[in-house]
Amino acid sequence: MTTNVDVAIIGAGHAGLNAVKEVRKVTDRWILINGGPLGTTCARIGCMPSKVAIHLADTYQIRQRLERYGVGGTEHLQIDRQAAMEHVRDLRDTFVDLVLANTTDEMDEEHLVDGYAAFIDSDRIKVGDQIIAPKAVIIATGARSVVPPEWEAADGVLTVDTLFEQERLPESVAVIGLGPIGLEIGQALHRLGIDVTGFDHGERIARIADPAVNRAAIDIFQREFPLLVGHEPSISRRDGGFVVRSGDNQVDVEAIFFAIGRHAHLKPLHLERLGVPLNDQGMPLVDPGTLKLSKRPIYVAGDAVGGIANLQRAAEQGRIAGWNAVHRRQRRYRSRAPMAIIFSEPNIAVVGRQWHTLDPDRTAVAQQRFGPVGRALIMGQNRGLMRVYADRRSGRLLGAAMVGPRCEHLAHLLCWAIESGMTVDRALEMPFYHPVIEEALQDALIELREMLHAKPSRPAWRRLIPRLSSA
């Protein structure tokens, strides 16, 4: 039997759920297909449980600073890692329940189908024994962690998809990949008392393009746990565990945590049956504005599009895909000033234009260290560096990179300013308070203003002209 619908949405993550909100405003003939457990990537395995783990680890880490504040007995503090992980799962389940309560819990069997979808052809989808014939399709299947094929089924191999289900954490871990996920989880595990070593084949961590900020970040985090960068790590089995080699270094560990990226989860869909162009990774060519696949009424939204995962982007793309699936007039997704935040301690943030995209002849760069910032000193978190970029001709803010305290908030201020086209002068007209971390940004802006308004020195031969003419 074939079920005819106006729209089929594949995937009940943030993109898919937001697509449903738009579609159901126009038609009741829609169906949401979801394989596996309900709950978004953010709530179940991503943003939220990872931040709970980071918060627990950072709270436990504070004990190392308490003695200087006059608090004694800190050497007797211990953490029960099993209880800590139970707390992570409890809060994780709360976040998932909050998502489901307002979305899929309200859907009946006619609209919510449990199962994995696969295209039969461009007009039909198979889910188990059911065949669905939609007029339009929205693909919002999310992404999955990348693990080298030879290690996919190995015991002791973890990813962010599986970490929070562990009843017992290993005593030692090699983190392979020091992007945002690897750095956040690596530091959290270290602060929970696990022996952690980080590896990355590149010489950048957390995707920091600015070389000065990258060096500052590596210097800071290497003081906590070893970071072995610049060499491709090799992994082999040994005595029930693993040995990881990088350059001249070798580390024996109980477990491996892979954080080498996430790829769109598209393979089970059999997109090749649609007759549309696919790249080497099986990704279709998608219009970045309408999110439409080729000329067919098939749309792709959220992590399935590829690129850096972001809840807000996934939600907005879901809304646009949902609108476009039921309207002739197509809306377009508009990229905003980019912002990336890593919730390590100290935070790392990159906003606006990245370093490698800047024209050095047209860009002014101000640098501010957090060492002398009063509020950072008070908090005992005065480590880090901020660099802010502005256009020399227009004075407009272009971007920034930073590692330091409370950078998640500084990043928002700068990103809003960049998105609104704010100049350095206009930004300095905004009110600042004291003592706050934002004074570091104020100092960087003042330095930028001085650079932008400095009078260029004239060549020696030009300086002689007035004298010669007046002689």
Q: In what order do the strands lie in the sheet with 241-246?
A: 234-238, 241-246, 249-253
Give dist(CA 85, CA 103) in Å, integer.
27
Give dist(CA 252, CA 330) in Å, integer.
55
Phi-psi region of 57 (alpha: psi -120 to 50; beta: other; left: phi over 0): alpha
Q: In what order do the strands lie in the sheet with 385-391?
A: 339-342, 347-352, 397-404, 385-391, 363-369
Cross-strand partners of 176: 199, 258
Contact (CB, 8 A) for 96 and 39: yes
Binding residues for FAD: 51, 303
Q: Of 243, 298, 292, 247, which Cα lies nearest the Cα of 269?
A: 298
- 120 three-class SS: strand
Dihedral Cα 252, 257, 262, 264, nearest 10 deg: 110
Cross-strand partners of 386: 368, 402
Binding residues: 51, 177-184, 261, 303
Dihedral Cα 146, 149, 150, 152, nearest 10 deg: 60
Identify residue 295 by its one-letter amino acid code: K
Give dist(CA 19, CA 311) in Å, integer.
14
Burial of 343 (0-12, 13-18, 19+ CB in 10 A): buried
Give dist(CA 366, CA 232) in Å, integer.
34
Side-chain-side CA neighbours of 12 within 13 Å: the count stands at 25
Instruction: Give kind and range of the element (H or E) at residue 94.
Output: helix 81-101
Whether 434 is catalytic: yes
Q: Of 452, 455, 402, which Cα lies nearest the Cα of 428?
A: 452
Give dist(CA 165, CA 43) in Å, integer.
14
Give dist(CA 192, CA 133) in Å, integer.
51
Give dist(CA 152, CA 16) in Å, integer.
28
Binding residues for NAD(+): 177-184, 261
**Catalytic one of 327, 412, 434, 453:** 434
Which residues belong to the active site? 434
